Every structure is written in C-alpha cells, then in structure tokens.
C-alpha cells in the first residue's frame, strides 16, 4: 500500500509510503484520489498529508515516463484535493519536489520542517511541471519567483519558502502543528486554484527568457516552462491546465528528456560492481601526498566528509603551500556559506601538513597527488610503504600513468589502486577508480567507499593511457588539431562544439588547463607512438613559442587585459605553415562537419575502450564524459548520444573517413559488431 489513511475523530491522516523517496507512481496517485473520496464520505474537518521516511514526495515516478501515463492522472488527483470541501494540510518533513511540491500546493496549507526543501526541478529532467505547478506556483509566490523556480529548477529551503509565502509556517513538528491549526483559520484559506493569477509582466518574462538563454542554452524545457506560465496568466486556471499537460507529455518523450533521465538514473546506478566482494579498510585518517591545487582539493573534500587529512610534502615550502591552499578553500567555503565557522574549525582541527611521513603512520589509505612523473610517484610509494601500516591502501591520483608499473615496485602490488579525481577535486563529482592487474578487491572497495563518503560518482576503469576520460580527450584533441591543420581555426572548432552544447570548445578549455600538460604527455608517448599514425605538430610549436594558455597570457587565443578570448593570427599562421610543409590541401570545414568528426572520433575511441573492457559499460562512459569532460548533460553523454546516430550510420561514415587516414579512423570492432547485429551501444559489452 503506497498511501495509508486513518482518522482520529474528524481529523484524517494520509501518508505517502513509497520508499525510498515517495516517488508518485500510479499506486500513489490512486491512493491519494481514494483518500479524497474517503475524507469527503467521512466529512472530516481536515486531512493532514505527510510522507513516510526521509521525503515528503520526490515527484512523479520518472521510471514511468517511458510508458503512456496510467490513470488516475496526477493533475486530476490534485484538482480533487484542491477542490475538495475537506481542506488538506501538507505536513512537509524532507523534500517536496516536482509532483511532490504540486501535491503540497494543491493543499490548502503547507507546514514545513526547518530542514525540508520544496521545489519544481522538472527542467533538470527535461520536462516541465505537469500537474498544475506552472499555474498554482505563480498564484502562491508571484510571477517573478515562479519564473525563477520553474525555469531554473532550484528548490527553496524552508526559510526561503516562508519568505516567499510558499509555506505558511516552519515548525519542528509539522504533523503536530497541522493538528493544532485553528479550523476557522483553515476554512478561511482560499483554495489555490481560486487565487487570482498574477498580472502579466512582459519585462519579467523577457528577463526570465534571457536568463535561461544564458544558463541553459539549447534546452527546450525551460523555454516551454516560461511559455506555459505566460499562457496561464490571461486565461482561467482550468483552461491553462491542458496546455501545461500537453507540453509536459510532449517533452517527456523527447530526446532531451530521455537523455536527462538516462543521466539521472545512471548517476544513481554508479555503485561498486557486485563482482567486487570485499570490505573497505577503515576510512578515518587519510594521507594525501602533495599539497598543490589537486592535493589540497582532495584534502578539503576529505575534511568536508568529516575525515582526518594529512598532507605530506617534500620540504617546508611545500608544507606552507599546502596549508595556504587548504586554508584558502576553507575561507572560500565560509564566504559562500557552504560551511559554518564551527565546521571550519573542525576542518582545521582534523588537518595536518608535514614533511614527516610518520604523521600519517596510522592512515589506512594514502592518495598520492604528486607531480605527474613515474619516478617521483615510485619514490613517494616507497616512502608510504615504510611509513604506513602494511595493509594500508596506496592510491595514485595519476591522470595518465601506468598503475601496473607503479604497483610493480611494491612487494604487495595488490594494495595499489588508481583514484583519479578531477579538478577542482572538492567540486567535480566524477572519480575514476582504476583497477590494476593485481589490485585487490579490498583496494577497490576502499575506493568505492571513499567515493560514496565524498558523494562522488565512482566509475571503474581499467589500465590504459589516460584510462577512460583522458584517452577519449586525447582523441578529441587530435581530431580537433587535424581539422585545424587541414583548414579550420580554433575559433571555428570551439564554435562548432559550443553549438553542439559544450559550454566551452577544446581550444578554450585547453587554454584554461594549460598546453604544457598535453605536451608532457606527448613527449612521454614519443617512444611508444605508432609511427604510421599522423602526428599534428602545431601544439608542440605553440609550446616552443611559450604559448601555454591563460597562465602565460596567451595560448590558442590571446586574452587582452585578461578578458575574453581573441583570435591570434600567429596561431592561424602556424597551421597554414605546417599544412604547407606537410603538402596538405586545406579544406573549408563547415561547423556541422567539424562537430561530426570530433564526436565520431570520440565515439570510435570510446567503443574501443568498451571493447577492451577498460570501461564496464556504455553508461559509465556517459557519466565520465558528462561529469568529467563537459559533455552536454541534455545529450545524455557520449554513448547515449551515439545511439541516437545509430551504429550502422556511424560505421558507414567512419569507413569513409578511414579512406583519408586508415590509422586514426580505424573503425572500432565493437561498432562494427553493433552495426552488424543492430545492437545499441547501451547494450554492448566488452569483447569476451
Ligand atoms: N522517480 C523515480 N525514482 C526516483 C525519483 C523520481 N522522481 N527520485 C529519486 N528516485 C530514486 C533514485 O533513482 C534512487 O533509486 C532512490 O530514489 C534514491 O534517490 C508531474 C513531471 C529526492 C533529492 O526531479 O533529486 O515530478 O538508486 O539516490 O541523494 O510535475 O533523488 O536507490 O534504486 O537520489 O537522497 C521531479 C528527483 C520529477 C527529484 C533524494 N523530481 N530526485 O536524493 O537519493 S518530475 C525530481 C532527487 C515530476 C511532475 C513532474 C533526489 C532526492 P535507487 P537518490 P538522495
């Protein structure tokens, strides 16, 4: 039973009981509708609605969105509540999101507990409120607030909801308070649907449209949300509902909503594979080697999770730098109101920076975040082996280097695992957990347990150059440099990828991270690079010219006055010169073709990564590309997007491109297999 009901005299208690978060599926809708009839038959004086467990209701059950909606439909259920002569009070303890907030707004009164939240985040799932939210919310909080809440999807805290009059009161015990509410006072509250819609205000509408154009470019749902809100301002409530419903139903079957749902559930399915049968080591005191930007970010994430963190450095300057970096993150957290003074002091009390490895003598996990050199890392691991308990797990935050080579320097290589964080480590949600040839299940379980503690999205990766994400990134950059050398420009390439949905194209992104990192990797790969593979020398020339990106004031672009990017004719000339030296004809690539080549290059590489078992499944590759590399979330990630193209079509195009360069465009056997068998990449598995 997803909805329970009982009454004490003339007061009814209805509880949504659909764990874990009271998602509103068909059975909950049915239960609520029956409860309206029940309350009316008993002529109750009020119904107090609550949610069992940690949520009031987390919204419509998104797992039902792929099917045709079953009756009763939520708008009808909520109209029954709103129009009933028995007033309902929503006693909100936990989150009231989407359909959950719509239920609460259909109630005559809302009482929230201090820690609860209320909001309409439907646009984050590529839809709009579909049960009256676009019509009831403006009536309760006004047009400006409603436009903001619905088009951006950000929930309100209880205090914010009180300030906007979305909730009547904030009380520690909403259920009890609801019982105490004066019946006359309750009877005087006008049903939400009967409230007047706010005045139409063109400037507010225009402003809201401008905001979403900047914050969620190319996304359809926020635009439609504003359209539906605006449409409802000048027509009666019940005439506006079908407009809202039609837009909701159309959006939920669209590509963007499917993609966003895919990522929503993929994110929640990112857990330790069942095949790993081991317990984590104790996660209390964790050593971090290296107090630079990465090490300090990792240490701060550990402190935020309530853990003890000791940064180990090579000398006093390093220790001072580590302390400065961590203190800067603590101050930033205080300034942004993300942590309290008390928590900040707790962080400081649990943080140590030292050159003395013995300071981490009881740490059962160490994360090495030192300079990206194998020799440096081997030296660090040797010191960790001497200082830490013999069964402590030794992790490396390397972005590219061979975990197996590192592990081979230890008498017990099973203790070694890769924990690849993304900068800034305390913000980026992705964590690549790299399994070496001898990595133990205990080491892997420890990685996943840490990922959970840090609220990261953990993805298991095998060992190869760049693991999942950086290997795809390297192919992406190579494809970009190829069209640049053969006729395009950094500006055109970046523009093409921004039109696809990236917030930033590959060249502007590399100017941020620095051209020297990729240069060091190319030098490292010189000895093993396939001599038959075409090599694009432009980026090397850039580094020779000292054009390392924003950190040197110029890279692929110039940034006069540190402001926006400006084309640099020197860079353009470099490509013309190199293509001339290579006797290559230059082509005027259109944005569509640039986009296609860069995406196919990534998809083909990702298919090899999946085929080799470096990634467990396509879903993990989607998580890596979205949460680590800026792939547009509303496209569902690289492989989800690839499935909208279809394996056959991709293989056909890749075969054409391989005429140009059979090495770089060698078609992935996995893609060939999918094309032959009609299998989606989402269902593809590594070759056996
Ligand atoms: N539908 C189906 N399953 C859901 C769900 C939902 N709306 N929300 C959560 N789950 C599952 C989730 O997959 C996971 O499952 C478990 O609950 C715990 O979630 C008509 C159209 C509520 C803040 O956008 O933001 O209403 O992995 O791991 O970190 O207008 O879940 O255990 O099997 O995320 O504590 C609008 C979505 C829907 C809110 C809890 N609602 N959910 O976070 O736990 S559209 C939302 C969340 C709508 C109406 C429209 C979060 C949470 P499993 P979790 P959490």
Atom of ligand 1 nearest to the CA of 127: 21
Q: Is there an atom of ligand 1 within 6 Å of 59 CB?
A: yes
Say if strands 308-312 and 285-289 run parallel, antiparallel, or are unpaired: parallel
Give the containing element (helix H, strand E) for 512.
helix 506-513
Task: Kindly give the distance from the C-alpha atom of residue 261 to the centroid of ligand 1, in angstroms, as a whole number.
Answer: 10
Strands 46-51 and 11-16, how do they pair?
Answer: parallel
Name the maximum alpha-carbon separation found in the chain: 91
Select from 16, 19, 21, 119 the residue to mutate for testing ligand 1; criterion: most ligand atoms less than 8 Å from CB: 21
- Verify whether ligand 1 is closer than 6 Å to residue 457 (CB atom): no
At 145, list the tokens.
């607030």
* pLDDT score recorded for residue 686: 85
From ligand 1's centre to the CA of 218, what distance in Å?
24
Quote the ligand 1 centre to 364 CA distance (angstroms).
34
CA of 590 to the centre of ligand 1 (A): 41
Say if ligand 1 is within 6 A of residue 61 CB.
yes
Q: Is the CB of 36 under 6 A from ligand 1?
A: no
Q: Which one of 22, 58, 101 would you pick to mutate in the ligand 1 pocket, going by the greatest count of ligand atoms within 8 A of its CB?
A: 58
Q: Whose CA is nearest to atom 47 of ligand 1?
A: 58
Ligand 1 atom closest to the Cα of residue 117 is 23
Any atom of ligand 1 within 6 Å of the Cβ of 257? no
Minimum-distance ligand 1 atom for the alpha carbon of 129: 30
Using one digit for the tens of pLDDT, what is the confidence trace for 256-286? 999 999 999 999 999 999 999 998 999 999 9
Question: 517 CB contacts (<8 Å, ≥6 apart)?
Answer: 372
- Given this model, what pLDDT does residue 687 score? 84
Ligand 1 geometric centre to CA of 116 (Å): 15
Q: Is the Cβ atom of 125 under 6 angstroms away from ligand 1? A: yes
Closest C-alpha residue for ligand 1 atom 52 = 58
What is the DSSP secondary-structure string of 189-258?
SPPGGGSPPPPP-HHHHHHHHHHHHHHSTT-HHHHHHHHHHHHHTTS-HHHHHHHHHHHHHHHHTSHHHH
User: Is residue 97 within 6 Å of ligand 1 at its C-beta?
Assistant: yes
* Residue 21 alpha carbon to ligand 1 centre in Å: 7
**23 touches ligand 1 (CB under 6 Å):** yes
Ligand 1 close to Cβ of residue 63 (< 6 A): yes
Which among 601, 622, 632, 617 has a CA at the least distance from the CA of 683? 617
Distance 424 CA to ligand 1 centre (A): 26
Burial readout 358-384 (b: 16 or more C-beta within 10 A, e: otherwise): ebbeebbbbbbbbebeeeebeebbeeb
Q: What is the Å distance from ligand 1's center to 82 Cα?
A: 25
Q: Does ligand 1 lie within 6 Å of residue 130's CB atom? A: yes
Closest ligand 1 atom, CA of 125? 24
User: Per-residue pLDDT tens for 641-678?
Assistant: 999 999 999 999 999 999 999 999 999 999 999 999 99
CB count, 10 Å around CB of 648?
A: 13
In angstroms, what is the span from residue 58 Cα to ligand 1's centroid? 5
**Counting atoms of ligand 1 from 1, which one is nearest the CA of 65?**
21
CA distance 365 to 446: 8
Residue 560 has a pLDDT of 87
Ligand 1 centre to CA of 242 (Å) is 25
Counting as low any pLDDT under 70, the low residues of the chain are none
Residues 518/510, Cβ–Cβ less than 8 Å: yes
Nearest residue (CA) to ligand 1, atom 25: 58
CA 650 to chain centre: 27
Q: Give the pLDDT confidence of 337-363 residue by residue, as tens digits.
A: 999 999 999 999 999 999 999 999 999
Residue nearest to atom 51 of ligand 1 (CA): 58
What is the best residue among 57, 62, 116 to mutate for testing ligand 1's pocket, by most ligand atoms within 8 Å of CB? 62
Residue nearest to atom 55 of ligand 1 (CA): 21
Q: Give residue 54 CA to ligand 1 midpoint distance, Å.
A: 12
- Produce one character per residue of 311-331: b if its CB has 16 or more CB atoms within 10 Å, e if not: bbbbeeebbebbbebbbebbe
**Does residue 21's CB lie within 6 angstroms of at least one atom of ligand 1?**
yes
Measured over the CA atoms of residue 305, residue 306, residue 311 and residue 316, the dihedral's sign is positive
365-368 sheet: strands from edge to edge = 351-354, 308-312, 285-289, 365-368, 393-396, 416-421, 430-435, 457-462
* CB of 98 sitting under 6 A from ligand 1: yes
Catalytic residues: 60, 99, 102, 122
Separation of CA 153 and ligand 1 centre (Å): 14
Output the residue whose Cα is nearest ligand 1's atom 38.
Answer: 59
461 DSSP β-pair partners = 434, 615
pTM: 0.96
Give CA–CA dist 17/500, Å, rounded: 42
Please tell me the predicted confidence (pLDDT) of residue 343: 96
58 Cβ closer than 6 Å to some ligand 1 atom: yes
Pairing type for strands 557-558 and 46-51 reads unpaired
Looking from the CA of residue 121, the nearest atom of ligand 1 is 24
Q: Which is the closest atom of ligand 1 to the Cα of 60?
A: 26
CB 401 within 8 A of CB 465: no
Report the nearest-CA residue for atom 39 of ligand 1: 58
């Amino acid at each position: 039973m997803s909805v329970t009901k009982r009454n004490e005299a003339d007061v009814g208690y209805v509880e949504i009981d659909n764990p874990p978060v009271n998602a509103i599926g068909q059975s909950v809708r049915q239960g609520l509708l029956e409860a309206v009839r029940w309350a009316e038959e008993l002529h109750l004086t009020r119904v107090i609605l609550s949610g069992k467990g940690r949520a009031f209701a987390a919204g419509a059950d998104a797992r039902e969105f792929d099917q045709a909606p079953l009756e009763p439909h939520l708008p009808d259920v909520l109209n029954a509540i709103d129009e009933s002569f028995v007033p309902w009070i929503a006693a909100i303890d936990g989150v009231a999101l989407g359909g959950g907030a719509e239920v609460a707004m259909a109630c005559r009164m809302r009482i929230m507990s201090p820690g609860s939240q209320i909001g309409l985040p439907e646009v984050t799932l590529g839809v709009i409120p579909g049960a009256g939210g676009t019509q009831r919310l403006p009536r309760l909080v006004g047009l400006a607030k409603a436009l903001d809440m619905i088009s951006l999807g950000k929930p309100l805290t209880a205090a914010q909801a009180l300030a906007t009059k979305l909730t009547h009161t904030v009380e520690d015990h909403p259920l009890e308070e609801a019982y105490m509410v004066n019946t006359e006072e309750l009877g005087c509250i006008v049903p939400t649907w009967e409230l007047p819609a706010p005045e139409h205000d063109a400037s507010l509408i225009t402003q809201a449209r401008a905001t979403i154009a900047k914050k969620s470019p190319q996304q359809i749902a926020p635009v439609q949300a504003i359209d539906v809100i605006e449409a409802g301002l000048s027509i009666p409530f019940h005439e506006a509902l079908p407009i809202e419903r039609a837009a909701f139903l159309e959006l939920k079957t669209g590509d963007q909503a499917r993609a966003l749902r895919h990522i929503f559930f993929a994110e929640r399915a990112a857990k330790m594979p069942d095949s790993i049968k081991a317990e984590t080591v104790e996660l209390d005191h964790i050593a971090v080697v290296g107090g630079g930007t990465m090490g300090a970010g990792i240490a701060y994430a550990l402190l935020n999770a309530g853990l003890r963190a000791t940064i180990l450095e090579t000398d006093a300057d390093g220790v001072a730098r580590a302390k400065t970096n961590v203190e800067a993150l603590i101050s930033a957290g205080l300034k942004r109101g993300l942590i309290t003074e008390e928590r900040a002091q707790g962080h400081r009390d649990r943080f140590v920076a030292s050159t003395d490895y013995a300071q981490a003598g009881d740490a059962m996990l160490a994360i090495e975040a030192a300079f990206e050199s194998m020799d440096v890392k081997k030296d660090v691991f040797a010191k960790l082996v001497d200082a830490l308990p013999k069964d402590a797990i030794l992790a490396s935050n390397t972005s590219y280097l061979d975990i197996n080579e590192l592990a081979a320097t230890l008498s017990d290589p099973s203790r070694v695992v890769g924990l690849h964080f993304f900068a800034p480590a305390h913000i980026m949600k992705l964590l690549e957990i790299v399994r070496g040839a001898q990595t133990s299940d205990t080491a892997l379980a420890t990685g996943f347990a840490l990922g959970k503690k840090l609220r990261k999205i953990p993805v298991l990766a095998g060992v190869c150059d760049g693991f999942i994400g950086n290997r795809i990134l390297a192919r992406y950059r190579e494809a970009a440099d190829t069209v640049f050398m053969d006729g395009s420009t950094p500006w055109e390439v970046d523009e093409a990828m921004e039109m696809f949905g990236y917030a930033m194209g590959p060249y502007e992104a590399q100017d941020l991270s620095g051209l020297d990192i990729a240069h060091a990797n190319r030098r490292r790969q010189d000895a093993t690079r396939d001599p038959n593979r075409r090599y694009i020398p432009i980026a090397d020339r850039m580094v020779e010219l000292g054009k390392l990106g924003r950190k040197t004031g110029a890279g692929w672009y110039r940034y006069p006055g540190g402001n926006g990017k400006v084309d640099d004719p020197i860079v353009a000339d470099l490509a013309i010169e190199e293509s001339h030296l290579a006797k290559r004809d230059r082509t005027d690539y259109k944005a569509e073709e640039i986009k296609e080549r860069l995406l196919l290059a990534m998809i083909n590489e990702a298919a090899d990564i999946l085929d080799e078992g470096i990634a467990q499944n396509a879903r993990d590759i989607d998580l890596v590309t979205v949460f680590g590399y800026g792939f547009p979330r509303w496209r569902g990630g690289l492989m989800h997007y690839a499935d909208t193209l279809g394996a056959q079509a991709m293989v056909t195009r890749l075969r054409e491109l391989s005429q140009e360069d059979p090495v770089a465009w060698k078609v992935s056997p996995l893609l060939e297999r999918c094309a032959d068998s009609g299998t989606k990449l989402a269902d593809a598995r590594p070759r056996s």
